[in-house]
Amino acid sequence: MAKGRVAEPSQTGAHHPIPVGDGAAGTRVPAAPVSRDHQKEKSWAEAGSARMSLLILVSIFLSAAFVMFLVYKNFPQLSEEERVNMKVPRDMDDAKALGKVLSKYKDTFYVQVLVAYFATYIFLQTFAIPGSIFLSILSGFLYPFPLALFLVCLCSGLGASFCYMLSYLVGRPVVYKYLTEKAVKWSQQVSHLLLL
């Protein structure tokens, strides 16, 4: 490597030499700002895969919805009154009604109730669908405190991680496709702040 250059990893992990200041250790010369045309070309290239990203997102959502359907179908036989209460809670009254139904079946069908709770919570968290807070409260009603705490922490962590991975994998091309100007502006602001 040439004198006056420091190797620094890029996003791909490869090391690229970066010019260092006037030879003094630790000083840097700011890189030339990336042109607006280059930013737009980059955004158009990333936007090209927006359709594929949306297709992936829809297929993941449909697969998760199918898993939720299977969980619902494998649940014990419910009466018509109980079936009405088997829904994602939107308020405390819904959570109370669901809690009564699940507590009735929890002792006899422990694994089915636990799997249904786990799958529903992760589904809601992954796709940022409101209602997981009521499932957190419901876990305290259904299970002993240590198990309820473990379930809430595990489901929240997994669901949030899956949500982040989805937005990381498929969100960027969609943002560049539909919010090109704002994405370019934000990228320039971030790169400007990194140079400071």
**Mean pLDDT, residues 38-61 taken together:** 74
Cβ(120)–Cβ(75) under 8 Å? no
pLDDT of residue 38: 64
pLDDT of residue 171: 82
The band of 165, judged by pLDDT with boundaries at 50, 70 and 90, is very high
**Mean pLDDT, residues 7-21 taken together:** 47
The band of 40, judged by pLDDT with boundaries at 50, 70 and 90, is low
Residue 6: Cβ within 10 Å count:
14
Cβ(86)–Cβ(72) under 8 Å? yes
Domain layout of the chain by residue ranges: 50-171
Please choose, from the candidates 53, 102, 52, the residue with its C-alpha nearest in 3D space to the C-alpha of residue 82.
Answer: 102
pLDDT of residue 114: 93
Q: Whole-angstrom Cα distance, residue 112 to residue 142?
A: 13
pLDDT of residue 44: 58
Q: What percent of the chain has pLDDT over 90?
A: 42
- Residue 3 reports pLDDT greater than 60: no
Q: Whole-angstrom Cα distance, residue 27 to residue 152?
A: 48
**Mean pLDDT, residues 140-149 taken together:** 94
pTM assigned to the model: 0.68
**Quick one: three-class SS letters along 172-190?**
HHHHHHHCHHHHHHHHHHH
**Mean pLDDT, residues 113-125 taken together:** 94
**Mean pLDDT, residues 11-20 taken together:** 47
Tell me the three state secondary structure of residue 15: strand
The band of 33, judged by pLDDT with boundaries at 50, 70 and 90, is low
